[in-house]
Structure 1
Amino acid sequence: MEVPGRNPAMTAHAASVDLTLKELEREVKSLEADLARLRAKQHDAPQHPVAQAELLKAALDEVTDSKPFLPFPGSVLPALLALRRTQETIAQSRVFLASHKADVEQAQRQLESDQSSFRDQRLLAEALETRLQSLREDLNSTVGMQPKDGVRKRKDELRERKRNYDKETTKLLASMNKFIDDSLAAMLAAEVLGGPVVGDAMDLDTDDLAAGFNSQGKLNKPKGGINQDKRQRRIDQIWGAADDQVADGGQEDEVAAAGNEMRQLTEELLNRLVDASGDGSASYVKLPRESAAARFLVRSKVAQFHPKDATRIRLFDFGRELDE
């Protein structure tokens, strides 16, 4: 008869556990009785080596011929043994993983470093192969040509290459200015005004910047109209008065001021890099103040501060470093 409120499966499991315990107790008592009997006969053990060997052989034959202990079909002992073995395996695996964690992390870092080096070497090999192919083509094209004709051809090629470089430079500058005006300037202005770092907030407009940010870097809620005179004084104090003021009342907003600062800094850095002619120490630009634009260039891995003077910054000369 089932007890109300009891799960039949739980009742059957409890009964199986009880039977298993009783079975194990009987087996333990049987083994203890055998052990006591053997201890009682211990004084009758033969002393001669041959007799001892025969006794051991007889005991081995008896153990071999005897049926092993097997639990009854419904016993939970096999499941308990399997669970204990599983727990031991899990514990050993955790110890093994913990002892080898540092080695795995080091191997992972080494793998990432090797993969990066391999990519760099492959790119360098491709660039060298392209250069060698270009030199072969130049050599083949000048075979049988008079020296003055070769010089003239080379000059024409250099002029054409310079025109292409100038054209690409113009396109790149236009793209950079568009990126500054459309996206970067607002984020730079927000960082300068105490807001999020460039990249953490993407959707910002001039009205948000005019309201400013609180000490937690969150946008302030605008209270009434914005005092344009106070706003302009803040812009002039941070970025300085604009050289070319916008047409709307001769005033400049935060986005335009931050964009102009970024353009002026990149232009000065590029000009200084060209004038330095490969001299790294001569390519630094002195910053008049701490600048979000400068920090952005450094975080972007295209510029670096002077190791001993954070008010000086220069562009990485990638071409020169590759030549070296």
Structure 2
Amino acid sequence: MKTFLLGIVASMAALLMASTGSAQLKTIKVKTPADLHGFFHYSGKEKKIISGHRGSYLTGYPENAIETFEYVLKHTPAFFEIDPRLTKDSVIVLLHDATLDRTTTGKGKLADYTWEEVKQLRLKDKDGNVTPYRIPTLQEAIDWARGKTILNLDKKDVPMQMTADIIRKNNAGSFVMVTVHNAKQAKFYFDDDNQRMMSAFVKTEDALKEYEAVGLPWKNMIAYIGSENKPANKTMFDLLHARGVMCMISAAPVYDKLETKEERAAAFRDIFKQGADILESDLPVEVAEAVKSKR
């Protein structure tokens, strides 16, 4: 009897810790596809949204890891761009590179490993240190993200129909969106589900016209317009904002690599100042700190 009671107490303590930990997260609450469309709708009011590129990439916190997503949400609301890829036995896991060497303890191509083999590997942080964390499956990421945040699935080697199927199977269209590189890819996802939210590459006026030519509604999209914060972006900002579309700049290739935190903070603030609505970064917590007084 005593053992039984101790077991109940331990279970209740675990549940309390879990709910307390969840309550500490700065979440994005979206319950329906319409909520998701509304969250990303450009209305002209100042709204700064942060996207964690591959989650984040820090000392102790590897990219594309659920533990890293948790770390970010303890500091700031954010959504996450992540990278689904296929193992040898067609399990969808999160890994940016086609090879394992840079971010894991494995060697060679992911496609040469089964999921059972991949589970034995450990992820490395930005300094190459081995962490306790392993490569998650996309299914695990979806299960974790529900009620907490939004996932943006980049286009890697997973067939688009397979991506659409896992979103539908999980009834996850309210918080899982997809990256598309062109109007043809966007049309596929729209025909599959006319509520599908997309992060679309719209870097030029010609690209904008291509999306409109295939009849895609702008309410289903945010627009990625590039990685440079330059005056020429204003044309695209104006065209897309007039259509109710939020514009995203990625700081990962350029501004995340500036030498000092102060330089990076100034660059992050200027990206928003020049007209971007969403800033994607390997350093989402730094971005939040940089713009905190302006949010």
Query: What TM-score do you get using the length of structure 2 for normalisation?
Result: 0.25
Higher helix share: 1
Higher strand share: 2
Query: What TM-score do you get using the length of structure 1 for normalisation?
Result: 0.24
